[in-house]
Amino acid sequence: MRGKKLLSLILVIALIVGVIGFISSRDDNKQTTTDSKPKTKMTVGHINLANDLPAYVAQEKGYFSEENLEVTLKKFDSSKLATDAIYSGDVDASAGSSTVPLLAAESTQGGKAKIYALGYTGNTEKSALGAFVVLRDAPIQSPADLSGKKIAVFPGGTAKILLTRYLKNQNVDTSGIEWIEQAPNLWVASLQNGAVDAVFAYESTLTVFKQDTTKPVRVFGYGALESSVDPLYLGGSSIRSDFLSANPDASKAYVRAYYKGIDFIKNNEAEARTILAKYTGIKEEVAKEMNLYPNAKLNEIDKDKFQKLADLLYDDKNINNKVDTSKMYIEESFTN
């Protein structure tokens, strides 16, 4: 009888211990859930070019996640569309779309976006964003022969605006040029089948043209875009002003992660090229050879050169109002 009572007592004690343990476990889980801070969700626009690479790196290497951010990368077919998405509130930030539509938007809707980094190109073969490409057996030999021709360009106004200025400075009559806005994946076929006479090809398609030995091409006009301003701050990394105000900690975290991406590219170029190929669909052999464009953090930007670009666009009547670019930058406190 005493044995049965003892056994019952042991069972009761075991049951009590089990219940206490279960309750404690639930409390621990509840505490973990309470203490863990939910990730801030962000949508970041990009246009599938090398200027967007820091964002791809930050996503691939987990820098956004480390900063407690859940970032969705959203592709746009032109810089104009990416900029419109920033100013309409459809995305929270833009990775590296062109500064030309950004300056145009700023000239009419000032203060809606702030720059945290700028990608730049130069006027040499190894630093230029693109060049004119024609078939090698075409009669076009130089910029002077482009008058009256059909030229394929990246969608949006940037190429047309800067190339028109370049050609006019070369004494080329641009009035008869037909600018054909096309996505880069159409450029090779358009040139080869005669739909256009020339392409002003951005990287990576410029390297695709040069690597294709079946249809040899002639390349000229390196630095055409950059002829008036060098370096040319053409890649505008911006973030919505209202997002900055509403989410200051997340904004700082985002900029930190993006800057880690910039640093990674500098120190790990080969791997960065592999990441570029993965996120853009560029072939590995092309990604290994194409130009990569540096990105300047806020304290590295030559702000006078960026102001010069804005003034040039205004002088040529490509933006409606003068823009004071000094007001476009993110506050330094967000970069610390």
Q: DSSP secondary structure string, 243-277?
A: HHHH-HHHHHHHHHHHHHHHHHHHH-HHHHHHHHH
Hey, what are 265's tokens? 């590219």
Closest by alpha carbon to 96, among 60, 58, 50, 62?
50
Instruction: Quick: pLDDT tens for 283-296.
Output: 999 999 999 999 99
Could you tell me the pLDDT band of residue 24, with boundaries at 50, 70 and 90? very low
Give me the pLDDT at residue 126, please.
93
Give me the pLDDT at residue 336, please.
78
Hey, what are 94's tokens? 């833009």
Residue with tokens 């990730």: 39
Give me the pLDDT at residue 15, please.
42
pLDDT at 17 over 50: no
Give me the pLDDT at residue 48, please.
92
Instruction: Quick: pLDDT tens for 28-59.
Output: 433 333 347 899 999 999 999 999 999 999 99
Give me the pLDDT at residue 35, please.
47
In which residue ranges of the chain is CATH 3.40.190.10 found?
40-122+231-335, 130-220
Instruction: Quick: pLDDT tens for 224-248.
Output: 999 999 999 999 999 999 999 999 9
260 CA to centre of own chain: 15
d(CA 158, CA 27): 58
pLDDT at 125 over 60: yes
d(CA 332, CA 336): 7
Give me the pLDDT at residue 302, please.
97
Could you tell me the pLDDT band of residue 329, with boundaries at 50, 70 and 90? very high
The Cβ of residue 169 has, within 10 Å, a number of other Cβ atoms equal to 12
Give me the pLDDT at residue 8, please.
55
CA atoms within 13 A on the CB side of 161: 22
Q: Are 107 and 319 in contact (CB under 8 A)?
A: yes
Could you tell me the pLDDT band of residue 152, with boundaries at 50, 70 and 90? very high
d(CA 290, CA 168): 28
β-strands 113-121, 232-240 pairing: antiparallel
24 compared with 113, residue with greater pLDDT: 113
Closest by alpha carbon to 55, among 2, 93, 11?
93
Average pLDDT over residues 251-261: 98
Hey, what are 150's tokens? 């059909």
Average pLDDT over residues 293-309: 96
CATH number for the region 130-220 comes to 3.40.190.10
| Pairs from 164-172 (Cβ < 8 Å, separation ≥ 24) | 165/227, 165/228, 165/312, 165/316, 166/221, 166/224, 166/225, 166/227, 166/228, 167/143, 167/224, 169/227, 169/228, 170/143, 170/144, 171/144, 172/143, 172/144, 172/146, 172/147
Give me the pLDDT at residue 37, please.
80
pLDDT at 215 over 90: yes
Q: Are 212 and 188 in contact (CB under 8 A)?
A: yes
H and E: helices and strands count for the chain: 13, 11
Helix axes of 79-88 and 99-108: crossing angle, nearest 10 degrees: 40
Looking at domain 40-122+231-335, which CATH architecture does it have?
3-Layer(aba) Sandwich (3.40)
What average pLDDT is seen over the chain? 90
